[in-house]
């Protein structure tokens, strides 16, 4: 998986022991923090505390039927809460810590807040790779549930400043810019065949190569779809036009690769047409262009393969 390593740019992140302690104490008190991960920033709470988890739903204004991902320092900890099958063993050994979430059958009485799982008998589990997330999790006596740290339906944050803008009173641990920049790939392992519920940096091909099988089709699968995969999501407040061939008066341009458009304002996701780079820049670019001074955001076509699939998935939702 050397390609994955190069796709996950190395970044050294530092946190003082005081800041670490303060964040952990906040979580132990049942309060929320802004948590840096390699994908996007999370809004983290003690997964075992209904009261703490309820604060996430209130602050994000998230629908209660939309369950949360539980974060662990390693696979051994995750196995205390869910039943691992062979696929889970293989995928966790291959990709954890990293941007992969597995849906598995919850262990009965595992203690995870029922609010966090929205009453399902499954639990989404993930082991993040970000060094600060790792440090935090390793020092806690409980797992953390953490949705992306944005108000429901708005863009996922990839810097501590984004989180602060949405939630000024929140304690946010600054871990720099997220290296992946898109939420984790979600794979459902509870059906007859694994299915990708949300595309991400880890592609269908990566998962199939590791499992030596062909993944099922989400549309045809008997498993429940990720309830959070509502059609409209990740949305800026001005209109978004995709796959543009021309530019309209007053629009800002979200470009990809070289081109001949001239716009009043432009952000290029990747001048060299590198899809990983584009994925990493996507949410920050949308946040910057999401301003009432523009009539809308015009987006150039982005190839729909590899991680381009995940980029187009987020763009389609943002324009729905």
Does residue 113 contact residue 196 with C-beta atoms inside 8 Å?
A: no
Measure CA 36 to chain center: 11
Instruction: Sort 137 into a burial class: Cβ within 10 Å, 0-12 / 13-18 / 19+.
Output: buried
Matching residue, tokens 């780079």: 277
Contact flag: residue 63 with ligand TXA (CB under 6 A): no
Q: How many residues form the binding site for Mg ion (CB under 5 A)? A: 1
Spatial separation of the C-alpha atoms in residues 42 and 172, rounded to whole Å: 10
Secondary structure element (H or E) that encloses residue 188, with its range: strand 185-188
Residue 154 makes contact with Mg ion by CB under 5 A: no
β-sheet bridge partners, residue 253: 266, 298
The C-alpha atoms of residue 165 and residue 167 are separated, in whole angstroms, by 6
Of 113, 134, 148, 190, which lies in the binding site for Mg ion, with binding defined by CB under 5 A?
A: 148
Rounded to whole angstroms, the Cα distance separating 302 from 315 reads 10
Q: Is 228 in the site for ligand TXA (CB under 6 A)?
A: yes
Dihedral pair phi/psi, residue 75, rounded to 5°: -65, -35
> Of 27, 40, 196, 302, which one interacts with ligand TXA (CB under 6 A)?
40
Confirm or reject binding of residue 69 to ligand TXA (CB under 6 A). Answer: yes
Residues 99-118, one symbol each (x = binds ligand TXA by CB under 6 A, - = not), give --x-x-------------x-
Based on CB atoms, which residue is closest to Mg ion, 67 or 306? 67
Nearest distance from C-beta of residue 116 to Mg ion, angstroms: 14
Is 123 near ligand TXA (CB under 6 A)?
A: yes
Between strands 144-145 and 42-46, the pairing is antiparallel
Q: Which x/- pattern over 170-189 shows residues binding ligand TXA (rule: CB under 6 A)?
A: -------------xx-x---
Instruction: Give the shortest CB-281-to-ligand TXA separation in angstroms.
Output: 16
Residue 147 touches ligand TXA, criterion: CB under 6 A: yes
Chain residues that interact with ligand TXA, rule: CB under 6 A: 37, 39-40, 42, 66-69, 101, 103, 117, 120, 122-124, 126, 128, 146-148, 183-184, 186, 197, 226-229
């Amino acid at each position: 998986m050397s390609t994955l390593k190069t796709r996950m740019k190395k970044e050294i992140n530092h946190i003082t022991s005081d800041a670490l302690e303060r964040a952990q104490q906040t979580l132990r008190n049942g309060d929320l923090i802004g948590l840096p991960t390699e994908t996007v920033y999370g809004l983290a709470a003690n997964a075992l505390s209904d009261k703490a988890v309820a604060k996430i739903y209130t602050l994000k204004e998230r629908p209660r039927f939309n369950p949360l991902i539980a974060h662990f320092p390693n696979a051994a900890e995750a196995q205390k809460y869910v039943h691992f099958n062979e696929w889970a063993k293989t995928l966790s050994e291959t990709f954890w810590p990293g941007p992969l979430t597995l849906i598995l059958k919850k262990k009965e009485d595992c203690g995870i807040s029922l609010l966090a799982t929205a009453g399902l008998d499954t639990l989404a589990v993930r082991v993040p790779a970000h060094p600060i997330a790792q440090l935090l999790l390793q020092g806690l006596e409980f797992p953390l549930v953490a949705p992306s740290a944005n108000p429901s339906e708005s863009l996922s944050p990839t810097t501590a400043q984004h989180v602060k803008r949405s939630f000024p009173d929140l304690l946010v641990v600054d871990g720099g810019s997220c290296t992946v920049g898109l939420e984790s790939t979600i794979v459902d392992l509870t059906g007859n065949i694994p299915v990708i519920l949300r595309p991400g940096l880890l592609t269908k091909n990566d998962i199939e190569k590791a499992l030596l099988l062909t993944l099922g089709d989400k549309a045809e699968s008997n498993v429940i779809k990720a309830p959070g995969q509502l059609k409209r999501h990740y949305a800026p407040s001005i209109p978004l036009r995709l796959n543009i061939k021309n530019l309209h008066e007053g629009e800002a341009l979200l470009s990809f690769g070289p081109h001949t458009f001239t716009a009043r304002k432009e952000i290029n996701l990747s001048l060299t047409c590198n899809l990983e780079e584009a994925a990493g820049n996507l949410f920050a670019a949308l946040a910057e262009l999401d301003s009432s001074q523009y009539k809308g955001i015009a987006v150039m076509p982005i190839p729909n393969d590899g991680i381009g699939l995940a980029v187009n998935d987020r763009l389609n939702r943002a324009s729905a």
